Chain A
Amino acid sequence: MLEIRKKWKKRRGAWAAAVICLFPAALICAPLLMIPGGALMDGAEINRILAPVLGEGKGFAVWHLIPLYPTIGHFYRLLIESPAFYQLFWNTVGMTAAILFGQLAVGLPSAWAFAAFQFRGRDFLFGLYVVLMLLPFQVMLLPQYIILQKLELYNHPAAVILPAIFSTFPVFIMYRGFTQIDAEIMEAARLDGAGELQIFLQIGLTLGKMGIQSAVVLSFLENWNLVEQPMAFLEEQAKWPLSLYLPQIDIGQAGFAFAVSVVVLIPALFVFALGQDALEEGIACIGVKQ
C-alpha cells in the first residue's frame, strides 16, 4: 500500500505536468486542425462561413472542423488542373535540394574548422558568423542586391541559392554538433597518425551526425518556405518557389489554399518525421553549454 502511495506521490507531479503541458500543446495544434478540414470543404460552404471575414456578411466567422459538404474538388483542381503548381513545386524542390547540398558541401568543413581547430581570429570570425546569422534578411537585402547585380545573377535561381548556401546558420548548428565530440577521441586519432581529412570524415561525420541532420532539417524547413529572397531577386514567375504561389491565392478561395498547404506540408512532414530524432537530439546538442 505504502509503495503504491509512494509511487503515486512520485507520479503525481508528472501527471500534473502532463496535464499542464497538454494545454499549450493543444493550443498550438488547434489552428493546424483547420487545414485538413478546410482543404476538404466545399467552396460554397467555406465562403459562407467565412463571409464576415471576406467582408460580405454580418456577425462573425465560424469554422467547421468537420466540413458539412466535404469534397475533394480542391485537390482535384490542384493536382489535376493546376500545372503551375507542379512547376513551382519542382522549382522549390530543386532550389531546396541545391541549397541543402551546397550548405553541406560548404558548411560542414567550415563548422568542422571552427569546432576542431584553434587558430588565430577564430573567436572573432565565429562571432562574425553569428552576427551574419542573426542579421535579418532585409538588412542584407541591399548588400546582396548589389553583389547579385554585379555577378549578373539577378532573376536567376542562383540569386536565391548561392547566398543561402553560404548562410552561416547551418554552420552554427553543425558547429554545435561537432563540439559535442570528445576532444580526446580526436587527439587519439591524431596520435594514431590519422590525417585531418580522415578525422573529419570518420570521426566528425559519424559522431556529429545528429547535428548535421538537425541542420539539414532546419535548413529544409527554412528554405522550403522561402518568401522574401525569391520575391526580391526573382522576377519571372516561372522561377518562383511554391511559397510564393500560396500568397497569390485569394482568401475567397481559402479551400483551395488549404488544399495547397496540405500538399506543401507533406514533404515537410516527411522530412520532419525522418529527421525528428536528429532534430530533437541534434538541436539538443546546440542547447548544451559550450
Chain B
Amino acid sequence: MDSKKKLWRGFAAFMSAMLIMTYVSRMVYVSRMPQIRWMNPIASSIQKKLQVDGTVEAVNSQAVTGLDGLLVKKVCVASGDRMEPETVLYEVDVEDLMTQLSRLEAEEQVWQGQVQAQRREAQEEIVRAQEDYDISVAELDRKIAEETALLEDMMEDLDTHLFRIPKEDASDEIWIAWADERLRLDREIEAKKRAIEDTNFQKEKILKQADRSIEDAKQAQSEVTGAYAPSFSAIGQVQAREDKIEAWKQLAEDEGKVRAGQEGTVLEVMLQSGMRMGSEAVVRYADDESGLMFSTVITQEQKSMLHTGDSVRLRFPGSSEEVAETVDFIMQENGGYTVKIYLEPGVARGRTEGVMEAASTSEIYDFVVPVKALHNEGGNCVYVLEERNGILGTELSIRSLTVRLLDQNEDYAAIADDLLSGDMKIVTESDRELENGAAVKEWLD
C-alpha cells in the first residue's frame, strides 16, 4: 500500500511538472516570437518629393568680346557677379596697350600718306584734261568767229552786187555778166555756211572727247584711293581700325579699365590675367531684360512626378529663403528631361547653382502601405497577418504575399495584387527578421 501511495505521489508530481512545463514552453515559444505591428492598407494618393540640383542660366546670354591683341592684366569679375555699366570687367596692361596703340597709329599714317599721293596725281590729271578741253574749245570758238566774219562779208558783197543791177535796156552782155556774178556769190555763201556748221560739229566732238578725258581722270583718282582697300568691307575695316584706335586711346586714358557698359549678371568669364585676347567672347553675361532661368535634368522616373505648370520650390546655396516658381517647360533631351524655370528678376542674383524641390500628388491608389512593410524575396512582398489554426489553436501568423509595386515615395508604397483587400492586415514593423509562415505576436503599445 505504501508503494502505491508513492506511485500516486509520483504520478501527481509528474502531472504537475507537465503543467508547469506547459506554461514554461509557452513562454519560451512566445518569447521567441517576432513582435509585429500591422495596419490595413489604405486607399490614398502618394505624395512624392523630388529634389534635384540644377544651374541658373541666362535665357539669352550676351557676350563681351575680347579686345583683340591686348594683354589682360587683371580679371575683376567672376561668374555670378552682378554688373553695372560702370563695373570694371577687367584691366588691360596699359604699357602694352600704348605700344600696341603707337604701332597701330604708325601703320595708319603710312596708309594715309600713300592714299594722299595717289589722290594728288589723279587731281593733276583732271586739271590737265580740263585745260586741254578749254584750249580746244577756245580755238574752235575763234575759228567759228573768223568763219562767221567772212560769211558776213560775203553777205555784204552780195547785197552790193544786187544794187548794181543793169538797166532794163542794158545789153545782154551786161545782163549776163551780172547774173554770173550773183550766182558766184550765192555759191560762196553757201560754202561758208557749210564750213561753219562743220566747225561747230567739230567743236561738239572735241568737247565730248574732253569731257570723257576728265571723267577718266576722275575715275583714275577714285581708283587710286581704293588701291589699298579693294572691297567695301575693307573700307569698314579701316574705319574699324580708326574706331579701335579711338577706343584704345580712351582705354588708355581710363588706365586700361574695361567696363561693362551694360546691366546684367556675369555668367561666365573666359579670361585669365596675362593672356592675350582674341576677338572672341571673353565674358558672357545675362542682361536684365531677358532674365535668368533655372535649368535641371531629371530622369524618366522623376518626370512622372513633375509636370509643366507644377509649382516647385527653389533654394540657392547661402540663402535660407525658398523661392516659389512654376515649371515653365519640360522637354526630352538625350535620355533625360530638361526642366526650365524662368526666374523672376533678382531672384537668383549672383547665383549659378540651386536646388529644386517639387511635391507631386499621385492618383488615389486602393492599397497604400508604409514602405517598411515591403520586403524583397525575388519580387516585392508584404507579410499579411492571419489567424491560423494549428496544434496550438488559433495563432497569429504571417504569410508572404507577392505584390506589384505601383508607386512609392520614401515613406509609402502603393501596391496591387488580385488577392489584396482593404481588411487585410499588413505587417509594418517587427522586432526581428520575419519568415513566411512564422507565428507572431502583436505589439501592444
The answer to whether A and B assemble together is: yes
Give the complex CA separation of A236 and B4 in angstroms: 38
Instruction: Contact check, B390 vs A238: say whether CB atoms are below 8 A apart.
Output: yes
Q: Does A90 contact B (CB under 8 A)?
A: yes
Instruction: Contact check, A85 vs B25: say whether CB atoms are below 8 A apart.
Output: yes
Instruction: Contact check, B7 vs A273: say whether CB atoms are below 8 A apart.
Output: yes
Q: Which of A22-30, A76-84, A126-134 contacts B (4 or more CB under 8 A)?
A: A76-84
With A266-B14, A270-B11 as known contacts, state yes or no: A83 contacts B389, CB within 8 Å.
Answer: no
Which residues A236-272 have CB closer than 8 A to chain B? Answer: 236-238, 240, 245, 266-267, 270-271
Kindly list chain B residues whose C-beta atoms are within 8 Å of the C-beta of A81. Answer: 25, 28-29
Give the complex CA separation of A81 and B390 in angstroms: 16
Q: Does A86 contact B (CB under 8 A)?
A: yes
Shortest Cβ distance from B10 into chain A, in angstroms? 7
Pick from A80, A89, A274: contact of B18, CB under 8 Å = A89
Question: How many residues does chain A have at the interface if contact means C-beta atoms less than 8 Å apart?
Answer: 24
Question: How many residues does chain B have at the interface if contact means C-beta atoms less than 8 Å apart?
Answer: 21
Instruction: Contact check, B26 vs A83: say whether CB atoms are below 8 A apart.
Output: yes
Shortest Cβ distance from A266 into chain B, in angstroms? 6
Kindly list chain A residues whose C-beta atoms are within 8 Å of the C-beta of B4. Answer: 274
Interface of A, helix, strand, loop or mixed by DSSP: helix
Kindly list chain A residues whose C-beta atoms are within 8 Å of the C-beta of B394. Answer: 238
Shortest Cβ distance from A88 into chain B, in angstroms? 6
Instruction: Contact check, A237 vs B391: say whether CB atoms are below 8 A apart.
Output: yes
Which residues A200-242 have CB closer than 8 A to chain B? Answer: 236-238, 240
Kindly report which residue of chain B lies nearest to residue A236, judged by CB atoms.
B389
Q: Does A167 contact B (CB under 8 A)?
A: no
Kindly list chain A residues whose C-beta atoms are within 8 Å of the C-beta of B391. Answer: 84, 87-88, 237-238, 240, 245
Kindly report which residue of chain B lies nearest to residue A78, judged by CB atoms.
B25
Shortest Cβ distance from B19 into chain A, in angstroms? 8
Q: Per-position contact with A for B13-32: 1 when CB-CB < 8 Å, else 0? A: 01100100110111011000
Pick from A80, A88, A93, A240: contact of B25, CB under 8 Å = A80
Pick from A83, A236, A267, A270: contact of B22, CB under 8 Å = A83
Instruction: Contact check, A86 vs B11: say whether CB atoms are below 8 A apart.
Output: no
Q: Does B8 contact A (CB under 8 A)?
A: yes
With A80-B21, A267-B11 as known contacts, state yes or no: A87 contacts B393, CB within 8 Å.
Answer: yes
Instruction: Contact check, B392 vs A84: say whether CB atoms are below 8 A apart.
Output: yes
Which residues B358-411 have CB closer than 8 A to chain A? Answer: 389-394
Instruction: Contact check, B22 vs A90: say whether CB atoms are below 8 A apart.
Output: yes
Pick from B7, B14, B22: contact of A86, CB under 8 Å = B22
Shortest Cβ distance from A224 into chain B, in angstroms? 13
Instruction: Contact check, A274 vs B8: say whether CB atoms are below 8 A apart.
Output: yes
Instruction: Contact check, B10 vs A270: say whether CB atoms are below 8 A apart.
Output: yes
Instruction: Contact check, B25 vs A86: say whether CB atoms are below 8 A apart.
Output: yes
Give the complex CA separation of A85 and B11 in angstroms: 19
Kindly list chain B residues whose C-beta atoms are within 8 Å of the C-beta of A93. Answer: 15
Shortest Cβ distance from A209 into chain B, in angstroms? 13
Kindly list chain A residues whose C-beta atoms are within 8 Å of the C-beta of B25. Answer: 79-83, 85-86
Give the complex CA separation of A238 and B394 in angstroms: 8
Instruction: Contact check, A237 vs B11: say whether CB atoms are below 8 A apart.
Output: no
Kindly report which residue of chain A lies nearest to residue B23, judged by CB atoms.
A86
Kindly report which residue of chain B lies nearest to residue A79, judged by CB atoms.
B21
Kindly list chain A residues whose C-beta atoms are within 8 Å of the C-beta of B11. Answer: 267, 270-271, 274
Instruction: Contact check, B24 vs A80: say whether CB atoms are below 8 A apart.
Output: yes
Kindly list chain B residues whose C-beta atoms are within 8 Å of the C-beta of A270. Answer: 7, 10-11, 14
Give the complex CA separation of A237 and B393 in angstroms: 8
Of B11, B26, B394, most A-chain CB atoms within 10 Å? B11
Kindly report which residue of chain A lies nearest to residue B6, judged by CB atoms.
A273
Instruction: Contact check, A86 vs B26: say whether CB atoms are below 8 A apart.
Output: yes
Give the complex CA separation of A138 and B332 in angstroms: 78
Kindly report which residue of chain A lies nearest to residue B22, judged by CB atoms.
A86
Q: Per-position contact with B for A83-125: 1 when CB-CB < 8 Å, else 0? A: 1111111100100000000000000000000000000000000
Which residues B41-98 have CB closer than 8 A to chain A? Answer: none
Kindly list chain B residues whose C-beta atoms are within 8 Å of the C-beta of A271. Answer: 11
Kindly list chain B residues whose C-beta atoms are within 8 Å of the C-beta of A90. Answer: 22
Give the complex CA separation of A90 and B19 in angstroms: 9
Kindly list chain B residues whose C-beta atoms are within 8 Å of the C-beta of A80. Answer: 21, 24-25, 28
Instruction: Contact check, A83 vs B29: say whether CB atoms are below 8 A apart.
Output: yes
Give the complex CA separation of A79 and B389 in angstroms: 22
Kindly list chain A residues whose C-beta atoms are within 8 Å of the C-beta of B22. Answer: 83, 86, 89-90
Give the complex CA separation of A86 and B392 in angstroms: 9
Kindly report which residue of chain B lies nearest to residue A244, judged by CB atoms.
B391
Give the complex CA separation of A270 and B7 in angstroms: 7
Shortest Cβ distance from B388 into chain A, in angstroms? 10
Q: Which residues of B contact A (CB under 8 A)?
A: 4, 7-8, 10-11, 14-15, 18, 21-22, 24-26, 28-29, 389-394
Q: Which residues of A contact B (CB under 8 A)?
A: 79-90, 93, 236-238, 240, 245, 266-267, 270-271, 273-274
A-B complex: 3 closest residue pairs judged by Cβ atoms:
A86-B22, A84-B391, A238-B393
Could you give 11 example pairs across A and B, Cβ below 8 Å?
A79-B25, A81-B29, A83-B26, A83-B28, A83-B29, A86-B18, A86-B22, A237-B389, A238-B392, A240-B391, A274-B7
Q: A237-B389, A270-B11 are in contact. List 6 more A-B contacts (CB 8 A).
A: A80-B21, A81-B25, A81-B29, A86-B26, A87-B392, A274-B11
